[in-house]
């Protein structure tokens, strides 16, 4: 197998993987509620086919031979190296294990949906218990880690470990707690106007306009509704997003739409010529989350973006926002107050939501706690970290979809993404002449072009820390995030 044949073979594996993604997207958006049994079987069958293709011994031999090919370019060599790493991981699992994992994931997802509708944790717990047992087995099969959870982290953030994350979150606590104390002493913010009656059709149309405003290409994508907003990609030329709506909570739609739009912009910016290869895929979930968090927070919650968008929004909802001042609106969408729902959390408390999930997952995969105890552990940690205790399962243990997907190791990337986002946006402001003024005029094209060139088109041609160094001149650090937060709140409360 030469490099061209390797590339064609990887494209075929990607075709199967993206076919699974289409079925999974439909499962969460349009599939009738009674259709889960055969859909689960179909996804499991395709998962088995993809695994068999990836783990063929002849393919492994070809990869090892290609690694000795001196004619390969550095990018080609990196593609083969990363594929060999995935091959070595995949060969730790039997096809039977992969099919079982797919079936248990489908079972857990449908149990989560039903439990959320019923607001009953016990409807979900048995399916989750079986999935957690399998994920523990997966961690053991991967082996060679200081902590079993390291193998889960490596799926989403290659090279990340419990040891590194523990230190990151120690730093987060030490640096965010003084900021929270400072904000608590500021005048109380009235955000009641965000919870009036907002027509859902108008909300939907505005969400579409915001996606267009930040550069989402609707000729190669679409937006739908789902229980938990998500982005999925079948290729850079077909990237789908979902959102959710509440008639009496405008923020519910707004932040999920912009957040998923940021993910989608990344996927639409990946090089089509590298389809199926590491160089045509995202770098890590931390970098992926940096794109969603950058658009949601560094752009979407900042003054410059709303200098243009606020008058547009007032024209759409005059009775709700017509008499609200620009500064009061900015304070409302940046209100700092502990809450129970991660996706609705402010920029500071958000990271405590992530820490709770990280601590739980680490102990769950490590066998220190069991699924039967999760609800009590969750509620106790919310009371300890945020001073709040969930009154219902829906606002507590059932709020996130991730565990039903088997996505243990994903949650820490939300915090990592926020910190990467602050560094990237700070650098973009340095590199793009008068970027803030352009965003004020409603023009984000140069920012998107900068992200395309420096992040999206790079694909997975290096690791996240290396990319951060290349783009910003330093590895991951909290200084940019802290400076960004302090600057925003100083402007909000001292300049106005």
152-161, 416-425, 486-495: which has the minimum mean pLDDT? 486-495
pLDDT per residue as tens digits for the range 98-110? 999 999 999 999 9
By the 10 Å C-beta count (0-12 exposed, 13-18 middle, 19+ buried), 386 is classed as middle
Residue 287 has pLDDT above 80, yes or no: yes
Q: Are residues 411 and 463 in the same domain?
A: yes
Do 142 and 85 form a contact (C-beta atoms < 8 A)? no
Q: Are residues 269 and 209 in the same domain?
A: yes
Indicate the average pLDDT of the chain.
Answer: 96
What is the C-alpha separation between 468 and 283, in angstroms, rounded?
11
Total domains in the chain come to: 2
Do 465 and 159 form a contact (C-beta atoms < 8 A)? yes
Residue 173 half-sphere exposure toward CB, CA atoms < 13 A: 12
What is the C-alpha separation between 440 and 46, in angstroms, rounded?
47
Do 341 and 395 form a contact (C-beta atoms < 8 A)? yes
Residue ending a domain, among 76, 110, 142, is: 142
Report, as an integer, the average pLDDT of 45-68. 97
Residue 496 has pLDDT above 60, yes or no: no
Annotated catalytic residue 463: no
Highest mean pLDDT among 178-187, 255-264, 481-490: 255-264
Do 221 and 238 form a contact (C-beta atoms < 8 A)? yes
Do 380 and 374 form a contact (C-beta atoms < 8 A)? no
Instruction: Give the number of other Cβ atoms within 10 Å of residue 167's Cβ.
Output: 11
Q: Is residue 154 part of a domain?
A: no
User: Global pTM?
Assistant: 0.93
Banded model confidence at residue 9, pLDDT cuts 50, 70, 90: very high
pLDDT per residue as tens digits for the range 110-129? 999 999 999 999 999 999 99
Helices (H), 269-373: 285-293, 303-316, 318-321, 326-333, 350-365
pLDDT per residue as tens digits for the range 360-404? 999 999 999 999 999 999 999 999 999 999 999 999 999 999 999
Residues of the chain with pLDDT > 90, as a percent, come to: 94
What is the C-alpha separation between 190 and 329, in angstroms, rounded?
9
Banded model confidence at residue 495, pLDDT cuts 50, 70, 90: low
Residue 302 has pLDDT above 60, yes or no: yes
Q: Is residue 418 part of a domain?
A: yes
Q: Is residue 434 part of a domain?
A: yes
Q: Are residues 469 and 320 in the same domain?
A: yes
Q: Is residue 168 part of a domain?
A: yes
The parent domain of residue 254 ranges over 162-495
Q: Are residues 63 and 196 in the same domain?
A: no
Q: Are residues 216 and 325 in the same domain?
A: yes
**Virtual torsion, Cα 444, 480, 154, 293, nearest 10 deg:** -30
Q: Are residues 351 and 418 in the same domain?
A: yes
Q: In sequence order, which residues have a C-beta less than 8 Å from that of residue 141 and are 6 or more positions away?
A: 92, 93, 97
Residue 228's pLDDT is 87
Banded model confidence at residue 492, pLDDT cuts 50, 70, 90: confident
Helix (H) or strand (E) holding 169: helix 162-184
What tokens does 24 get?
């999974």
Q: Is residue 147 part of a domain?
A: no
Banded model confidence at residue 412, pLDDT cuts 50, 70, 90: very high
Q: Are residues 321 and 189 in the same domain?
A: yes
Q: Are residues 342 and 236 in the same domain?
A: yes
Q: Are residues 168 and 117 in the same domain?
A: no
Residue 183's pLDDT is 82
Banded model confidence at residue 229, pLDDT cuts 50, 70, 90: very high
Residue 182's pLDDT is 86
Active-site position among 28, 260, 289, 361: 260
Q: Is residue 156 part of a domain?
A: no
Residue ending a domain, among 82, 109, 142, is: 142
By the 10 Å C-beta count (0-12 exposed, 13-18 middle, 19+ buried), 39 is classed as middle
Q: Is residue 263 part of a domain?
A: yes
Q: Are residues 105 and 217 in the same domain?
A: no
Q: Is residue 341 part of a domain?
A: yes
What CATH number is given to the structural domain containing 468? Answer: 1.10.1370.30
Q: Are residues 190 and 97 in the same domain?
A: no
Residue 326's pLDDT is 96
Residue ending a domain, among 114, 142, 170, is: 142
Q: Are residues 67 and 203 in the same domain?
A: no
């Amino acid at each position: 197998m030469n490099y061209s044949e390797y590339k064609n073979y990887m494209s075929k594996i990607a075709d199967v993987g993206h076919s699974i993604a289409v079925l999974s997207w439909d499962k969460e958006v349009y599939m009738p509620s009674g259709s889960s049994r055969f859909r689960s079987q179909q996804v499991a069958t395709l998962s088995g086919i993809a695994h068999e293709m990836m783990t063929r011994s002849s393919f492994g031999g070809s990869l090892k031979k290609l690694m000795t090919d001196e004619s390969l370019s550095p990018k080609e060599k990196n593609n083969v190296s990363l594929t060999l790493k995935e091959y070595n991981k995949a060969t730790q699992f039997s096809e039977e294990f992969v099919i079982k994992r797919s079936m248990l994931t489908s079972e857990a997802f449908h149990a989560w949906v039903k439990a959320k509708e019923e607001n009953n944790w016990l409807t979900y717990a048995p399916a989750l218990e079986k999935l957690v047992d399998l994920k523990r087995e997966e961690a053991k099969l991967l082996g060679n880690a200081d902590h079993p959870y390291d193998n889960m982290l490596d799926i989403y953030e290659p090279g990340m470990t419990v040891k590194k994350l523990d230190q990151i979150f120690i730093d987060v606590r030490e640096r965010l707690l003084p900021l929270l104390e400072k904000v608590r002493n500021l005048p109380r913010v009235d955000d009641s106007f965000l919870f009036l009656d907002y027509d859902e059709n108008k909300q939907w149309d505005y969400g579409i306009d915001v996606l267009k405003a930040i550069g989402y290409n609707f000729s190669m994508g679409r937006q739908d509704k789902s229980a938990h907003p998500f982005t999925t990609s079948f290729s850079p030329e077909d990237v789908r997003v979902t959102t959710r709506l509440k008639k009496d909570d405008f923020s519910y739609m707004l932040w999920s739409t912009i957040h998923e739009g940021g993910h989608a912009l990344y996927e639409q910016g990946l090089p089509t010529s590298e389809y199926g290869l590491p160089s045509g895929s995202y770098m890590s979930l931390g970098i992926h989350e940096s794109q969603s968090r950058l658009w949601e927070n560094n752009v979407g919650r900042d003054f410059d973006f709303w200098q243009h968008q606020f008058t547009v929004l007032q024209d759409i909802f005059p009775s709700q926002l017509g008499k609200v001042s620009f500064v009061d609106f900015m304070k409302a969408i940046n209100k700092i107050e502990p809450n129970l729902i991660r996706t609705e959390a402010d920029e500071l408390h958000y990271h405590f939501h992530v820490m709770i999930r990280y601590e739980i997952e680490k102990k769950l995969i490590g066998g220190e706690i069991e699924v039967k105890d999760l609800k009590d552990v969750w509620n106790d940690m919310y009371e300890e970290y945020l001073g709040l205790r969930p009154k219902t399962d829906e606002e507590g243990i059932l709020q996130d979809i991730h565990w039903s997907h088997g996505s243990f190791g994903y949650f820490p990337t939300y915090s990592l993404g926020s910190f990467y986002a602050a560094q990237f946006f700070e650098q973009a402001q340095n590199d793009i002449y008068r970027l803030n003024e352009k965003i004020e005029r409603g023009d984000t094209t140069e920012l998107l072009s900068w992200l395309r060139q420096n992040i999206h088109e790079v694909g997975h041609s290096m690791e996240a820390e290396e990319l951060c160094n290349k783009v910003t001149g330093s590895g991951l650090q909290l200084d940019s995030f802290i400076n960004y937060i302090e600057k925003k709140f100083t402007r909000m409360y001292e300049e106005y």
